[in-house]
Structure 1
Amino acid sequence: MWIRAILVAVLVCLLILHFVKWLQNQKKYPPGPPLYLVAAKFMQSGFKVHPEMLTEYAKEYGSIYTILSQPEPVVIVSGYQAIKEVLIKYSDQFSARMLTPCLKTLALEKGIVFSKGYTWKQQRKFGVVTLRKLGMGQKALQKQIEDLAFLLAETFARENGQPFDPSIPIIAAVSNVIYALVYGQRFSVDDEYFQEILDALEYIVKFPSSFFHLLFEIAPWLMKHIEWPYRKAHASVDIVFTQARKEIEAHREQLAAHDPRDFVDHYLLQIEKSKNDPSSTYDEDNLVHCIADFLFAGTDTISATLRWGLLLLALYPDIQEKAQKEMDDAFGSSQSISFEDKMDVPYTLAVINEIQRFKRAILASNPRQSVEDVTVLGCFIPKDSIIIPDVHSVLFDPKIWETPQKFNPNHFLDKDGTFVDREELLIFGAGARDCMGKNLAKMELFYFFTILLKAFTFKLPEGVTEVNLEPVGGVLLYPQLYEIRAVPRVH
């Protein structure tokens, strides 16, 4: 306790010092709340960011406002129109990635997600092209996802309708989709090697929500003197990187130029092809970070959405039953549904999209950084400003959604019951830095949800009438641990 008290005292002192900075810089950036008021609310909330707090600031200061925090001021962009301007109209001007002291230490500006400039452009382009080569949206990849969804259904069936925690089998199944793309292989949930990686990924995702991460960002120099809170974070990253290097070496030994099997094979061949190009950024370090990017992005958000989805379906049995009836009418007793036939089940598609809106898996869209001075909707934003799009402000805007505070699949249906793919669902970002795996994610969610819903009716355990829907985490929002019953359906 005394260590925490000292650290809080240090934090307060730093905030006072930065109040002076706020006074000096408040005319340079769009107006916003003083840092000391933001910090006071932040500490009152237990060092968690509540989206409603950002909504209140937007009402007071406008759709673009500034929180003059440490290490750099943060410009919050709120509301669909403002976010669309920043992410799409001025996409190139806001194409740089924000790199905080912690991210610079752990990510090293390599790979796709945390790189910038020429490195980012070359790595992202290669990633997009290679995912397409590996079958993004094609039958072979669909079959792999479908097989993993059926394996997950078999795991659920072994529970015989009794209460169980679905989180671990869901995470394992979703992880194996990206493992198949990156490494060309799948792992058993019981594999110790596989479990070690999943544990490391989980810790890395949780770390940004911790008090010590906040302290790192505010006073990185302090970390040189108290390294112990960060050892596990570094160790977890090292586990992922070490595994990646082992897999790269194994692929290098079996590499066939005429028959690349997975992302690692394609990348190794690109390294060889570009070895005489002095401008090339293709090397093993960037490959390691690309692998880590795929594992993080391809596991956490999808698994969190599936966990939210099963819980919501159990809480709203009428919605679950309507989706099941639609699938039964469209496809009969067949357990297999093609992704190409998704428009035959518009209500089911609407349910999947509403799960993502109502219980999104991320707190905010990935932060950007401006590469030049920009004026957006009359607000001047200086070069190198950190930009955070407030996705919550769009997903719960009463001007966009009929009943934003309710779980309502009709948000994605027109008056004739036809599915409407709403561009306001900003789950995958937009513009130059949008999620390059969004089509894969949509495919995964479709197969996992439809196969599980055709096989089971999800119910809460006997006697459970209330469920806490407050999310756990900070950057990634996932449900609190719960148990559910997967009751086999009789067709």
Structure 2
Amino acid sequence: MLSVVLISLGLFLFSVQFLNLQWRSRGFPPGPTPFPIIGGLWQINFRADRGSLKKLAKIYGNICTLWLGHTPVVVLYGFQAVKNGLATNSEDITGKLESFVFKRVTNGKGLLASSGLVWKHQRHFGTGALRKLGMGNKGIERGIQTEACFLVEFFRSKEGRAVDPSFPIVHAVANVICAVVFGHRFSSEDETFQQLVEASSCMLAFLNTHYYYICEVLQDVVEYLPGPQHKASYSCEFLRSFVRQEIKIHREKGKTDEPDFIDLYLDQIEKAKNIPNSAYDEDNMVQCVFDLFLGGTETTATTLRWALLYMMAYPDIQEKVQKELDAVLSPSHLICYEDRKKLPYTNAVLHEIMRFSSIILITIPRQVLKDTTFLGYQLPKGTLIMANLDSTLFDPEYWETPHQFNPGHFLDEDGNFVIREAFLPFSVGQRVCLGEVLAKMELFIIFCNLLQTFKFTPPEGVKEVNTEAVLGGTMKPHPYKLCAVPR
């Protein structure tokens, strides 16, 4: 009898919650029917991948609603929807993602997941600090050139033997951002550095797994459930602890003639110490450094891994790049970012690599800060906006051959480099990627150094290059090996 009562009560509560969700979903863009606890995640098999998001848009349109538990998420698909959505009323949709996992990772601090005045101050300071440290000019460029040389020497030492390029590429890219935020680089043999790389990779890999969505839905019991969330949490704390140790060392060292990001932030804290409720404090500094290291390493390193894979997969394109490099630059020339203006085909290939690899499927969801009209819909405060960046890079209305690797997408009839309006790998609007210029500098200088020095080929016996992606925090290539044959 008791079991019947409990089942009846459970069904009653489920029905009440179900009807409540149907009532709340009125006025939102169309989308999968939301159910208690799981929302509309059943429609995408609890995972946001290319196929499920494309299916969602095909059924419900380019502006649809996907309920994350009891939280509505408006999903934007295709260039027009993404551009209009993120550029229109952008001030009203700059709120942070109020999710269980992101609260645990950022606590509302830093650059990526803060909002309001905290975000504005961190963003303003971050932009100014990176500019002072040389982003876009010779300051940071020298550090990139140094890492490019180390990477060239690594491949040269292998004498054309098959090697996995993943760690040396991550090492080079991470050391660029390490020099910016910490003021020094790491040896590839440094155990702490290897742990840092592994920890950041572990955290990002967790973010688009079934376990991530389970954590969001079952917040109260997630601590007691087995799964990779525990390793991701440990990785987060390891990174944060390392940053705090670096800050302590900087404080003890005092002011320097060549400041890094931490030095500049410590100076900013001192300047703002008498301002009530200042957003410049150690917790925000830790999270800003954390965000810069995480964001500045994974995305650029993954894109470079795709770059070398595509050069193996498309040897005719690799040869054309090398012919242009040979014709324009002498072997002794120190490659700089300004050289891109003389290398239109190479520049086009790099942009096509960024487009075709499309490593960031979706933006970090942004929260609507107040009741607002958004693309014709009345959205209440707290609604999340999630843009599918991948869909802009493959939108058939803006790319002639979206599913082919085609550098011609970025060349005009005369062979001059042109940028396309649908090229949005760094997002758009007020939360556009802070490190876009730095990423482009790294990609260009490292890629050109490698292609000028080596011909990249598959190892002996490999008949076909696998260009399928592995879904995670970023879209990575499957593990692979290559031969860097000196030219």
Structure 2 residue matching 1:468: 3-state secondary structure? coil
Matches within 5 A, 1:369-408: 369-408=367-406
**Secondary structure of 1:466's partner?**
coil
User: Matched residue of 1:450: which SS?
Assistant: helix
- Matched with 1:253 is 252
- The structure-2 alpha-carbon separation of the partners of 1:228 and 1:326, relative to structure 1 and needing over 3 Å to count, comes to closer
Deviations 1:363-416 (A, max 9, x none): 212221111233333233322211111112211111100100000000011111
Equivalent residue for 1:425?
A: 423
2:328 counterpart residue number:
330
Q: Which residue of 2 aligns with 1:72?
A: 71
Q: Which amino acid aligns with 1:289?
A: Q
Q: CA deviation at 1:70?
A: 1.2
Paired position in structure 2 for 1:222 = 221
TM alignment of 1:88-107, pairs within 5 A: 88-107=87-106
Deviation at 1:162, TM superposition (A): 1.2
- How far has the Cα of 1:93 moved from its partner? 1.4
Deviation, 1:305, is: 0.3
Residues 97 and 368, structure 1, Cα contact 8 Å, conserved in 2: yes
Instruction: Kindly indicate whether the alpha-carbon contact (under 8 Å) linking 2:394 and 2:402 is maintained by their aligned counterparts in 1.
Output: yes
- Determine the structure 2 residue equivalent to 1:191: 190
Which residue of structure 2 aligns with residue 6 of structure 1? none
Query: 1:55-92 CA deviation, whole Å, 9 max, x = no partner?
Result: 23323322211012214111101121221112122211
What do the CA deviations read for 1:95-133 (whole angstroms, capped 9, x no partner)? 112121111122111111111111111111011101111
User: Which residue does the alignment assign to 2:316?
Assistant: 318
Counterpart contact for 1:22–1:68, Cα < 8 Å: no
| Alignment correspondent of 2:458 | 460
- What residue number does 1:11 align with? none
Match of 1:27 in 2: 26
Q: 1:201 to 1:353 in 2, by over 3 A?
A: same
Higher alpha-carbon deviation: 380-389 or 122-131? 380-389
Q: Distance in 2 between matches of 1:411 and 1:146?
A: 28
Which residue number corresponds to residue 115 of structure 1? Answer: 114
Q: Tell me if the contact between 2:85 and 2:375 (Cα under 8 Å) persists in the aligned partners.
A: no
CA distance in 2, matches of 1:28, 1:375: 11
RMSD (Å) for aligned C-alpha atoms: 2.0
| Matching residue within 446, 449, 456 for 1:448 | 446
Take 1:320 and 1:357, find their aligned partners in 2: how far apart are those partners?
17
Structure 2 CA distance for aligned equivalents of residues 15 and 189 of structure 1: 55
1:463 deviates by: 1.6
2:158 alignment partner, SS class: coil
Distance in 1 separating the partners of 2:466 and 2:336: 35
Alpha-carbon distance between aligned partners in 2 of 1:307 and 1:71, rounded to the nearest angstrom: 38
After superposition, give the CA deviation of every residue in 1:414-437 in whole Å (9 maximum; x if it has no partner): 111110122311111111111111
Residue 167 (structure 1) shift: 0.1
The residue number in structure 2 matching 1:9 is: none
CA distance, structure 2, for counterparts of residue 378 and residue 109 of structure 1: 30
Note if contact 1:30-1:381 (Cα within 8 Å) is conserved in structure 2: no
CA distance 1:229–1:162, shift in 2 (3 Å): closer
CA contact (8 A) 1:327 1:345 kept: yes
TM-score, with normalisation over the residues of structure 2? Answer: 0.93
- Structure 2 distance, partners of 1:465, 1:375, is 54
Change over 3 Å in CA distance of 1:313–1:35 after alignment to 2? farther
Q: CA deviation at 1:40?
A: 4.3
**Which residue identity is paired with 2:300?**
I
Matches within 5 A, 1:138-217: 138-217=137-216
| Distance in 1, Cα, partners of 2:312 & 2:14 | 45
Secondary structure of the residue aligned to 1:220 is: coil
Contact 1:142-1:443 within 8 A present in 2 as well: yes
Higher mean alpha-carbon deviation, 98-107 vs 14-23, is at 14-23
Q: CA deviation at 1:172?
A: 0.7
Shift of the alpha carbon at 1:29? 1.2
Q: How many residues align?
A: 472
C-alpha change, 1:140 and 1:229, in structure 2 (3 Å) is: closer
Q: Which amino acid aligns with 1:487?
A: V
Is this contact kept in 1: 2:361–2:389, CA < 8 A? yes
CA contact (8 A) 2:48 2:208 kept: no
- 2:239 aligned residue: 240
CA positional deviation for 1:199: 1.1
Deviations 1:119-154 (A, max 9, x none): 111111011101111111121211110110111111
Post-superposition, which runs of at least 4 consecutive aligned residues in structure 1 deviate over 6 A? 14-18
Structure 2 unmatched ranges of 5 or more: 1-12
How big is the shift at 1:206? Answer: 1.0
Q: Name the CA shift for 1:19/1:312 in 2 (closer, same or farther; >3 Å).
A: farther
The structural deviation recorded for 1:229 is: 4.8
% identity of equivalent residues: 43
**Which residue identity lines up with residue 350 of structure 1 in the other structure?**
A
Q: 1:85 is matched with which residue? A: 84
Counterpart CA distance in 2 for 1:260 and 1:150 is 22
Measure the CA separation in 2 of the matches of 1:480 and 1:15. Answer: 42
Contact 1:152 1:170 in 2 (8 A): yes
**Does the 8 Å CA contact 2:86/2:428 hold for their aligned counterparts?**
yes
Q: Which residue of 1 aligns with 2:51?
A: 52
| Structure-1 separation of matches of 2:49 and 2:277 | 44
Q: Which moved more, 1:128-137 or 1:59-68?
A: 59-68
Question: How far apart, in 1, do the equivalents of 2:34 and 2:165 lie?
Answer: 41
User: 1:136 and 1:127 mapped to 2: Cα distance?
Assistant: 11
**Post-superposition offset of 1:39:** 4.1
Distance in structure 2 (CA, Å) of the matches to 1:429 and 1:288: 24
Match of 1:133 in 2: 132
Report the secondary structure of 2:162's partner residue: coil
- Does residue 344 of structure 1 match 2:330? no
The answer for the alignment partner of 2:432 in structure 1 is 434
Give the residue type in structure 1 aligned to 2:58.
K
Stretch of structure 1 that moved more, 81-90 or 412-421: 81-90
Once the two structures are superposed, residues 281-328 of structure 1 have per-residue CA deviations (whole angstroms, 9 ceiling, x without a partner) of: 111111111110001110000000000110011000000100110111
Would you say 1:291 and 2:322 are equivalent positions?
Answer: no
Match of 1:5 in 2: none
SS of the equivalent of 1:66 reads strand
Change (3 A) 1:368 1:278: same
Q: What is the letter of the counterpart of residue 312 of structure 1?
A: Y
Given that residues 71 and 217 in structure 1 are in contact (C-alpha distance below 8 angstroms), is that contact kept between their aligned partners in structure 2?
Answer: no
Q: Distance in 1 between matches of 2:396 and 2:465?
A: 25
